[in-house]
Each structure stands twice: as structure tokens, then as C-alpha cells.
């Protein structure tokens, strides 16, 4: 049986408000980790949704830049496409252009996945880099302070796609995953690693994902078909950062109308 989890979902009225809510969440998770342990080790996702949040975090005129202790942040990726770091599809490139090129994050603290290499070689090297950074021994697994996930309309998260081999990987930290439905390979953290993180959050935007959000968080448990359901953090807590469109089919707090437009709300559900 899947582990019971308390899901706290923060719903923002618009995509811009969602980016601000996510930037605030990121900054407070990073500064809380630094306050508690001196450093923050964070794994981020790619795709398109996080871009606006990254840009806000890097904007020195906005609220969030000053809230992030950049020199104490260690950045990792949840997954990467098998392309060079200069490629338009590179998650690293997207993050660099939106944020890394504009913030005082020490280069040695930026651990990108080497999408330009053979996928299996890149996965083994990235696992070795994580083991070194977290000073792991034997079968120890890393405990990230924050893992920020996205979700596809097909219910995938990280590069854990439906009906792919990586879904049954329990011992490794990073794997190369063949994604037949995209005729490509990806490099991805495994879900047992994601579930060990102190904070795990999904950042999901848009009406096109509303049905998948409902299916994943309120529907029957079928992680082979909806891999995002494998995300059940050991902490028992999971955060969803959503815009009103993506949250449109989720339960609403009493007294809040179907639209929920024009205001943010926070609600909790047990899954
Ligand atoms: C990737 C991601 C992936 C992403 C989802 C959602 O490399 O594509 O890490 O898991 O989070 O596909 O992507 P969008 O934000 O572009 O919808």
C-alpha cells in the first residue's frame, strides 16, 4: 500500500502569481535549510514551468533574490535530456539563461547532469558526484533539502515516464531511462531518492494538466500509468504549487466558488 501523505496545495489565481508563490516557497525552503544545517542542497526540474520562478529569483528588483543565501546553495537537477548543455532542449541551459547567469551561486556548487555523454555513463558519473557531495557510504542515499518537481500531462515527473524501466529502480540514485514514447533517453533521479527529501513540491501550471492533477492526487493508485503517484515523501508531507487552472478539479475549501479566480487559497488533503 502506498505511504499515506498529507498534501498541502497552494493555489494561485494566475501563472504570474504562481511564479511568485513558487519563488517565495523556494527562498524560504533554502533559507530554512541553511539556518538548520549551514547549507541547502536542492534538486530542480526542467521543462517550461519553472522558468518564470527562476527569473523572479534572479531579479534583484524583486522580493526573492535577497532572501536566498546563494553562497550556501548547492544545486542539482532532478533530470536531464540527453543533449549538450548548449542545446535548446537542455534543462541546464534553460536554468542558466533564466537564473544561473544572474546570481552569485559559486560554480562549484552547480552540479549539472552531463546530457552530452552516453546516458548510462552520465548517470553513473552523476551518482558519483552526488555521493561525493553528500559524503555517502555504501548503500546510503542522499537526503536533499528540497526537490522541486514538475508533471507532464501523461502523469510523468522527473524523467519517470509511464511504463518505463526507471519506475522499478529501488537501489540506484540516478539512472538512464529509455522513454520509448518519446524515442529518447533521459537521465533521472530515482523515486526513492525523491521520497527521502526533506521538502518535496510539485510546480504545475495550466488547464491542460487539471485532469492529470485530479487523476494523480485523487484517483486510483496506479503508478505504472501515473508515475507522479510514486512521490510519497518519507516526511509524510507533500506540497503542490498550482495555478487556478491546474487546480480546477481539486477539492476546494468550503465557501470557495468553482472559479476560485482572483484569490489564492491553501488547502490540505490526505492521500
Ligand atoms: C523535463 C522535466 C519534466 C517536467 C515535466 C513538465 O525534463 O521535461 O524535468 O519532468 O517537469 O515534463 O514540463 P513542463 O513544465 O514543460 O510542462
Please say whether the beta carbons of 53 and 26 come within 8 A: yes
What do you get for the CA distance between the two ends of the chain, in Å? 11
C-alpha cell belonging to residue 117 = 555523454
Distance from the Cα of residue 42 to its chain's centroid: 9
Our answer on whether the CB atom of 162 is closer than 6 Å to any ligand 1 atom is: no
Q: How far is the CA of 118 from the centre of ligand 1 (A)?
A: 21
Q: Is the pLDDT of residue 254 over 80?
A: no
Closest residue by Cα to residue 177 from 169, 185, 216: 185
H/E element, 125? helix 119-133
Residues 1-46 have pLDDT tens digits of: 788 999 999 999 999 999 999 999 999 999 999 999 999 999 999 9
Distance from the Cα of residue 127 to its chain's centroid: 18
Cα torsion 41, 198, 7, 3: sign = positive
Residues 173-219 have pLDDT tens digits of: 999 999 999 999 999 999 999 999 999 999 999 999 999 999 999 99
Please say whether the beta carbons of 46 and 147 come within 8 A: no
Q: How far is the CA of 254 from the centre of ligand 1 (A)?
A: 32
C-alpha cell belonging to residue 84 = 549538450
Residues 137-153 have pLDDT tens digits of: 999 999 999 999 999 99
Cα torsion 125, 104, 27, 262: sign = negative
Predicted structure pTM score:
0.96
Mutate to test the pocket of ligand 1, among 51, 149, 152 (most ligand atoms within 8 A of CB): 152
Amino acid at each position: 500500500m502506498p505511504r499515506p501523505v498529507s498534501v498541502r496545495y497552494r493555489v494561485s489565481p494566475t501563472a504570474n502569481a504562481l511564479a511568485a508563490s513558487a519563488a517565495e516557497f523556494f527562498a524560504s525552503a533554502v533559507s530554512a535549510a541553511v539556518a538548520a544545517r549551514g547549507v541547502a542542497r536542492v534538486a530542480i526540474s526542467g521543462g517550461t514551468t519553472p522558468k518564470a520562478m527562476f527569473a523572479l529569483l534572479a531579479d534583484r528588483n524583486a522580493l526573492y533574490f535577497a532572501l536566498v543565501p546563494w553562497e550556501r546553495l548547492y544545486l542539482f537537477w532532478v533530470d536531464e535530456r540527453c543533449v549538450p548543455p548548449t542545446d535548446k532542449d537542455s534543462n541546464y541551459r534553460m536554468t542558466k539563461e533564466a537564473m544561473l547567469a544572474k546570481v552569485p551561486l559559486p560554480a562549484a556548487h552547480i552540479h549539472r547532469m552531463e546530457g552530452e555523454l552516453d546516458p548510462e555513463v552520465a548517470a553513473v558519473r552523476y551518482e558519483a558526484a552526488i555521493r561525493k557531495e553528500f559524503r555517502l557510504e555504501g548503500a546510503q542515499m542522499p537526503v536533499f533539502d528540497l526537490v522541486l518537481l514538475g508533471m507532464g500531462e501523461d502523469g510523468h515527473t522527473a524523467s519517470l515516464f509511464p511504463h518505463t524501466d526507471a519506475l522499478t529502480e529501488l537501489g540506484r540514485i540516478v539512472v538512464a531511462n529509455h522513454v520509448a514514447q518519446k524515442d529518447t533517453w533521459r537521465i533521472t533521479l530515482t523515486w526513492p531518492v525523491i521520497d527521502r527529501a526533506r521538502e518535496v513540491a510539485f510546480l504545475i501550471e495550466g488547464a491542460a494538466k487539471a485532469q492529470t492533477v485530479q487523476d494523480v492526487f485523487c484517483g486510483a493508485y496506479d503508478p505504472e500509468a501515473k508515475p507522479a503517484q510514486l512521490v510519497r515523501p518519507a516526511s509524510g508531507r507533500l506540497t503542490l504549487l498550482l495555478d487556478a487552472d491546474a487546480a480546477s478539479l481539486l477539492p476546494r475549501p468550503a465557501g470557495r466558488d468553482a472559479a476560485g479566480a482572483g484569490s489564492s487559497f491553501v488547502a490540505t488533503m490526505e492521500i
